[in-house]
Amino acid sequence: MFAKTGLRVLRAHNMRVFRTYATPAMDKTLLDASKTLHDASKKPYDANKKTLVLLGTGWGTTTILKNLDTHNFNVVVVSPRNYFLFTPLLPSCTVGTTESRSIMEPIRHIVGRRGKDMRFIEAECTDIDVAAKQLTLTRTLDPTAHTHIKYDHLVVGVGGTYNTFGTPGVEQHACFLKEINDASKIRRRLKDAIEKASFGDVAPEERDRLLHVVVVGGGPTGVEFAGEMHDLVTEDLAKWVPSLSRHIKITLVEALPNVLPSFDKRLVKYTEYMFAKNGIQLRTNTRVHSVGDRTLRVSTNGVESDVPYGTIVWAAGIRARQFAHTLRAKVPDVQTSARGLIIDDYLRVQGTQDIWALGDCTV
């Protein structure tokens, strides 16, 4: 779908990585989630083995599980999400290019098909007693219920969440693109905006507002979503709602001088060229000061203005999840970075014993 936006480089990289997970069995993994191939949670606890607890079911912990000899430990995985999510393809789910189930795989399926042992707990780790090596868990399906478990070794891979940078109104009015539910929310928001704009008594100014999609953040997620949105308009909506498709406008807002700051400059220039060619407005050096229910307040090179919108997607960056800061608070003299956990060259959390961390929760 990126043929017209010129972003095949990003997409090709994502698909090369995804081949590891794109198995024929994936189409039915959600149906099989309740009938796991290997119910290791029923295996007895072995007092002769040390307990290894892994927090999270993202890239880091899933890679560890795939390569770990689980017969040497009592392996416990704790996460509020009982599946692995292939996040690079989330932008495709927002417009229907990729089905949600195609980028989700139950963690028990990943471990079980390799004949490994694991106990999974669907909960969020909310506190830790470093001295006693004890974790406090809040159950996902019953937030009022708490569980305590012991560990000998702990791997923190809780990942990151969206970062609003304290911008007023973002939490209340913006859509994010971090979890599978976010993709569904964006799809519903787009559909509702188009249906509202289709009524004949809607004023032109209100129609243009409803059909204006604003993307905040010029990283890979924001750029890829803008490209997917453009292709949805030109390839699908032009056929379904031709009278409205020509009024749909896409704007990408980036605070830095250019998009994709961590990528090769040739790709940056190519992306900017294709955005201009395909009519995607790019506003660099533009900061968002606040987000209202119908407009957002921005400043470009010091000049402030209001931008009407119908759908806003916030992809301006991530921050470590709360548990990383909870662990930081246990050793404040060593963990001095507000961005996440400080680790050494061996992924050990500095200031602690038998605790490792990896991924977006670290610095």
pLDDT in tens, the chain (363 residues): 444 444 444 444 444 334 333 444 444 443 444 343 344 344 557 889 999 999 999 999 999 999 999 889 999 999 999 999 999 999 999 999 999 999 999 999 998 888 888 999 999 999 999 999 999 999 999 999 999 999 999 999 999 999 999 999 999 999 999 999 999 999 999 999 999 999 999 999 999 999 999 999 999 999 999 999 999 999 999 999 999 999 999 999 999 999 999 999 999 999 999 999 999 999 999 999 999 999 999 999 989 999 999 999 999 999 999 999 999 999 999 999 999 999 999 999 999 999 999 999 999
Q: pTM value?
A: 0.86
**341 DSSP β-pair partners:** 362
